[in-house]
Amino acid sequence: MTTPPQWLVRLPSGERFGPAPMDAVERWAAEGRVPPDATLVAADGSQELPVARHERLRPIVLAPPTRAGPLPSHPPDDGAISTIIPFRNGPALAAYYTAVLSLIPGVGLLAGPAALALGIAGLRLRTREPHRKGAVHAWIGIIVGVLVTVVHAAVILLIVLSV
């Protein structure tokens, strides 16, 4: 049984790796450990060849990078669920729930203006980043926030005027 030929890899810095059979050198190249400007040297010194010119190593070391490209700037569309519950637009969602909370008498004195502010913030976010749903939730926060604030202001005004 004959031993497969052994090879050394000489980097441009002068470092040497090996000897190893060609299968191991190919694996090193696939792992990115062998640069295209390295030299392949037969262990017995009979051959010396740039790695980029070797028939089996050339396609490996000259191949384009296989790393994934950059991620998209926004996540893919979540379909109907993100329309029903706009979880990617926190201010709009908070505006909706704050508007519902503001319908409790007395609590609306503080929750009404908060729902209005959160609704505006949610609407601005939706305008800047259309993939974030929640325009309806933001509008509910704005409308209910304004109505509750006006009603509370009117009640306070009536109380003050009647005293």
Q: Give a yes or no: residue 69 inside a domain.
A: no
Q: Give a yes or no: residue 74 inside a domain.
A: no
Structural domains counted in the chain:
2
Distances in Å between the alpha carbon of 26 and those of 19, 21, 23, 39? 13, 9, 5, 13
d(CA 8, CA 18): 5
Instruction: Give the tens place of pLDDT for each residue, 5-31.
Output: 888 888 888 888 878 888 888 888 888
pTM for this predicted structure: 0.53
Q: Give a yes or no: residue 67 inside a domain.
A: no
35 and 86 inside one domain: no
Q: Give a yes or no: residue 66 inside a domain.
A: no
pLDDT confidence of residue 28: 85
Which residue range(s) make up the domain with 44?
Answer: 6-61
Q: Give a yes or no: residue 139 inside a domain.
A: yes
Q: Give a yes or no: residue 19 inside a domain.
A: yes
Instruction: Give the tens place of pLDDT for each residue, 93-136.
Output: 999 999 999 999 889 999 999 999 999 999 999 988 888 888 99
Q: Give a yes or no: residue 91 inside a domain.
A: yes
d(CA 104, CA 116): 16
